[in-house]
Each structure stands twice: as C-alpha cells, then as structure tokens.
Amino acid sequence: MGFQMIVSFFSVLVAAVLVAVDQLIKQWATAVLQPVGAITVLPGILELRYYLNDGMAFSMLAGKQTLLIAMTSIMLVCVLLVLLLRKMGPWERISWTLILGGGIGNLIDRFLNGVVVDYINVLFVNFAVFNFADICITAGVISLMAWVLYDSFRKEKAEMSSDQVNGVSDGTN
C-alpha cells in the first residue's frame, strides 16, 4: 500500500470520526433539548435549541428531501473520489475531509429522518440554527477557498519570478 493510499484511508477515517461525533451530538440534542426546547449557554449570545430543518442552509429547498438526498449523495461521492484519487497537500486534504464528514453527517439525518437536527442558535445576530456537521462543511469550504486563493497567488508569483529570471517582459516597462 503506497503512502498516498494510506493518507487517503486516514482522511476517510477522520471523516468517519467527524460523522460519529456529529451523530452523537445530535442524539444528545434529541434526548436533552427536544423535551425542553432550548438551554441558554450565554444569555443574549448563544443557546442550544432543538430545531428540525427539512431544507439545507437557511432552509433553502425545504421539503425537497429526495432532491437534497440525491444532490448531496452525488456531491459526496465526488468528494470521496477526490480524497481517494487526487494527490494533494495537507491543507486541501483537511478541507475536503471536513466537507465529507459534515456532508455525510447531515445526509444520515436526511436519509433516516427526513430532516436534519440543528441545535446551535446564535442570538446576537439573525442567523439560522445550525449543527456540528454544518460547522465542518463551512470550515471545509472556507479553508478550501483560502487554499485555492493562496495556491493561485503562489503560482502567479512563481510565474512572474520565472519570467523575470528568463528575461521575459510583459511590455509594461
């Protein structure tokens, strides 16, 4: 087994751990928060509120479970293939792993219950109630975007440096 395959396997294992953590927290939220509705953590700032979301982010596509399950499944298979087949650095790998773990966590809810259990409610802004899987997905997407911007900047800088070494001019002198 090559190093790349070991790293890929480890990424899938980490994603599985993220899924397990997500599902355990959702079980806790269902057992503890559902009966009481909400628990204040920091008054005026944060509460844990039991909320069932039948849509995706901000309840978009609410009630379209078959479409959401199909789209999410296809995207997650693509993410899994990227993790297994593409050679990448740690930053990009972590990003894709977070997206896979969070996506599977919410897909399990959608598939088994038709809704996603959300429980984190930020009170000082008007924002959707969300969960650990959402945090993983969001952190993964933001990290991936940052990596793409960084990599693009790095390649552009290297190209400019190479042009200067080779005496290539862009005609702006």
Quick: pLDDT tens for 133-162.
999 999 999 999 999 999 899 888 888 877
Residue with tokens 């080779």: 166
Name which of 82, 144, 76 is nearest 110 in CA terms: 76
Block mean pLDDT (10 aa), the chain, length 173 = 87 97 98 96 97 80 82 95 93 97 96 94 94 97 96 85 67 53
The region, left, alpha or beta by phi > 0 then psi within -120 to 50, assigned to residue 89 is beta
Domain for residue 167, yes or no? no
Counting the structural domains of the chain, the total is 1
Tell me what pLDDT residue 157 has. Answer: 84
Residue 58 pLDDT: 66
* Residues acting as catalytic residues: 118, 134
> Considering the domain boundaries, does residue 136 fall inside one?
yes
pLDDT of residue 62: 75
In a domain? residue 117: yes
Residue 173 is assigned to a structural domain of this protein? no
Per-residue confidence (pLDDT) for residue 170, from 0 to 100: 56
Look up the domain containing 131 and give its range. 3-159
- State pTM to two decimals: 0.86
Instruction: Decide if 164 is inside a domain.
Output: no
Residue 171 lies in a domain: no
Closest C-alpha among 68, 51, 62 to residue 129: 51
Structure tokens at 66: 């078959």
* Residue 14 domain flag: yes
